[in-house]
Structure 1
Amino acid sequence: MNRSLYTLLLHLALPLIALRLYLRGRKAPAYRLRIAERFAFQLPPLKPGGIWVHAVSVGESIAAAPMIRALRERQPGLPITVTCMTPTGSERIRALFGDQVQHCYLPYDLPWAAARFLDRLQPKLAVIMETELWPNHIHQCATRGIPTVLANARLSAKSARGYARFAGLTRPMLAEMSWIAAQTEAEAERFRQLGARPECVSVTGSIKFDLTIDRELKPRAQALRASWGATNRPVWIAASTHAGEDEIVLAAHRQLLSGQPESLLILVPRHPERFESVHVLCRREGFTTVRRSSGQPVGEGDQVLLGDTMGELLFLYALADVAFVGGSLVPSGGHNLLEPAALGLPVLSGPHLFNFLEIAAQLRAAGALQEVAGAEGLARQLQCLLIGAESLRCMGAAGIGVLRANHGALERLLDGLARLHRGG
């Protein structure tokens, strides 16, 4: 498939795209809003001539935040525009930056929409986070002489095989990239094999290792636990869970309660449209549940705190003694293992970590991560950790050590962006 065929198929798929927006809008009404932006119409006021950063959704927005803050500090007057594709990503960007950055949805990857967007924005540099590759947007940047960077780039072996099936589309797209700043050498080599120019690919590491934790976060969490009378209760968190995982997590919690009846689970579904259904599941399974969004304190008899708010994940991690990171008991590839590690928590996950293989390998080798296969394995590890203060301390310290050893990726990325921006 070449880019012309891809573009034709994308146009033919527009009715299906509209149907998908409608169906997603039934559960999350925000998908029905700002549709014109997705075609580069009715864009908000945008100052031209700055840096455009694309972060597809919540995870990428959070990963991009330290980079964006550093760019603003280095060049305070430079307009920075941050785009995304999802309402939750949009909410996160606004929560993180407010009016400090410009923001809109990224238009669909149609040549005329991409051209209209770039003609309006006229960026000097385009920075795409992690793996969000759109052939027409990249080509439109190349024809305008706009340097395009894939920052914090990751590419699993599975994804590389998928891209390789469409070499006629992938190879010229990657050849037009100005710089691919890969997280690991294995990923850098995959990009080279797929058609990226070798001189434009380098390894900078993962900027997720450069995570900075607010010093007040843990004291605030400890104060809240104390107000619940839960300072000495065993508390664990299952974060960023996907459909099919909540049942496993609740089954593990039931087993844990049989031996440690005071245990509290903080359950945080990955997608906000699932908050209500997960709450119904908790109640149906017989767990006394309080919703974080209700503002009610956790009582002595409560067994589950449902984390149904946005932008609080780090704080919810700080409330816990042990963290399980979801998207890993089902084949979704896992989520950010470094956030709980940065807070000094032992980290548990399922076996499906193909989006974070290098990070998982480092944490596992250091003794900061343990993988489990199901409810029984998860319950068994929780029981061991929650009764062993020394194990908690050792795993937590190991995780912090991994982050310290990998620090510096952000500075390497910023130096490379500065060279390209000056050259542009």
Structure 2
Amino acid sequence: MLMKWAQPLLRQKLKRRAKAEALYGQFVEERFGHYAHASPGEWVWVHAVSLGETRTAGILLKGLREQCPGMKLLLTHGTATGREEGQKLLQPGDVQVWQPWDSQDAVTRFFKAFQPRLGLILETEVWPNWVRCAQQFKVPLVLVNARMSDKSMRQALRWPSLMKPAYAGLQAVLAQTQGDATRLEVLGANVKCITGNLKFDATPDAAQVAKGQAWRSRIAMPVIMLASSREGEERLWLAAWQSFVKANPGVQIQWLLVPRHPQRVHEVVQLIEQAGFLLSRRSSWGEEEAASPPSHAAGSTIFMGDSLGEMALYYSLADVALLGGSYEPLGGQNLIEAAACGCPVVMGPHTFNFAEASEAALAEGAAF
């Protein structure tokens, strides 16, 4: 009953988000288990909630398709960036829909509509009704590339009667690290093995790397990137940069700012302009072969990375990156792509979502 009453609130939230990202306003009924075109069958259901998980899903799907030619993919997401990125992974016959909201009715309709033979959930998305319905419909549910921070474990343990059966009901869990495995087992999960992080198997886009390096060669000053910045961090950075400029008026640095969430780009642009800085956005540089940042603006203008799926380009353009999500208590962001592109990272104190990768990068001198 509570979930039924909450539906209008969720619809209003989606309506608000659609003002910034139109995709949130499309196929809304899928979130409640209603599908325009659905057929039960031998679907392999892969759930990748957002952009990072979807990119990891691409690595997983490459191996699955090699092992299971002709596999029927049912791909679900929770965010617009995830769904947009997921479109690149689809082959003829595959289906992509929004994840069902975790209510008994919506999830039951999802399982009845598709009747998947297997469910593979990326990293963290364990929902009680998903697990309950998977058991009811006899669908094995596996948590892949699983991670669990101390903070997330403590939060789950606040609701033991709800979350422990959910984790215990998973058919198997494939954990990234021993630490993740230990924390997942505290919640009752059946950890089968430790696989490492699938993101380590990703290869940066060679064309993006080459383009980023070519752009870098045209800029005659250090390029520093604020990578995947989160809410609150841009204000901290702007205040620090304003103080630095006043104290060091002759120092020239080219800043590159890439917000983590596309829906925040407008907000961040306003912050930068209110602080008195000029701005040049990636979306204005063009897509043709000769496109590049405006050379006359270097140093006097902050570059804004407002495109999707070009982190390899940005990391290859930068000499060093400040890791977003780590300067506020948000757990940090994935630094593996930065390392793969040869870009050293400076981290803040909050890296609990990627603790092992952060420690390894520090030990190897790839992060500071």
TM-score by length of 1: 0.79
Q: Any idea what the Cα deviations from partners look like across 1:43-70, whole Å, max 9, x if unmatched?
A: 4455720311101111111122111122
Other-structure match for 1:379: none
Give the counterpart letter for 1:205 in structure 2: G
Does residue 250 (structure 1) correspond to residue 250 (structure 2)? The answer is no
Other-structure match for 2:348: 350
Other-structure match for 2:296: 300
> Which residue of the other structure, out of 117, 127, 131, is the alignment partner of 1:134?
127
Which moves more between the two structures, 77-86 or 137-146?
137-146
Q: Give ranges in structure 2 of 5+ residues lacking alignment.
A: 287-292
Other-structure match for 2:289: none
* Aligned mates of 2:91, 2:250 — CA distance in 1: 43
Give the counterpart letter for 1:250 in structure 2: L
Other-structure match for 1:3: none
Does residue 60 (structure 1) correspond to residue 50 (structure 2)? The answer is no
Aligned residues: 358
Secondary structure of 1:172's partner? helix
Cα 1:109/1:43, change in 2 over 3 Å: farther
Other-structure match for 2:8: 15
Offset at residue 210 of structure 1 (A): 1.5
> Which residue of the other structure, out of 199, 202, 212, is the alignment partner of 1:208?
199
Matched-pair contact (CA < 8 Å) for 2:224–2:319: yes
> Which residue of the other structure, out of 225, 228, 253, is the alignment partner of 1:263?
253
Secondary structure of 2:135's partner? helix
Q: Any idea what the Cα deviations from partners look like across 1:377-398, whole Å, max 9, x if unmatched?
A: xxxxxxxxxxxxxxxxxxxxxx
Offset at residue 298 of structure 1 (A): 2.2
Other-structure match for 1:75: 68
Matched-pair contact (CA < 8 Å) for 1:95–1:311: no
* Aligned mates of 1:268, 1:369 — CA distance in 2: 19
* Aligned mates of 1:150, 1:58 — CA distance in 2: 17
> Which residue of the other structure, out of 363, 374, 396, is the alignment partner of 2:361?
363
Cα 1:204/1:243, change in 2 over 3 Å: same
Other-structure match for 1:159: 152
User: Percentage identity across aligned positions?
Assistant: 38
Matched-pair contact (CA < 8 Å) for 1:109–1:136: yes
Query: 5 Å matches for 1:1-40?
Result: 8-40=1-33
Matched-pair contact (CA < 8 Å) for 1:322–1:346: yes
Cα 1:96/1:314, change in 2 over 3 Å: farther
Cα 1:98/1:280, change in 2 over 3 Å: farther
Give the counterpart letter for 2:226 in structure 1: A
Does residue 147 (structure 1) correspond to residue 143 (structure 2)? The answer is no
Bigger helix fraction: 1
Other-structure match for 2:212: 221
> Which residue of the other structure, out of 11, 30, 41, is the alignment partner of 1:48?
41
> Which residue of the other structure, out of 321, 330, 340, is the alignment partner of 1:323?
321
Does residue 286 (structure 1) correspond to residue 276 (structure 2)? The answer is yes
Q: Any idea what the Cα deviations from partners look like across 1:14-61, whole Å, max 9, x if unmatched?
A: 232223223323433432221111112134455720311101111111
TM-score by length of 2: 0.90
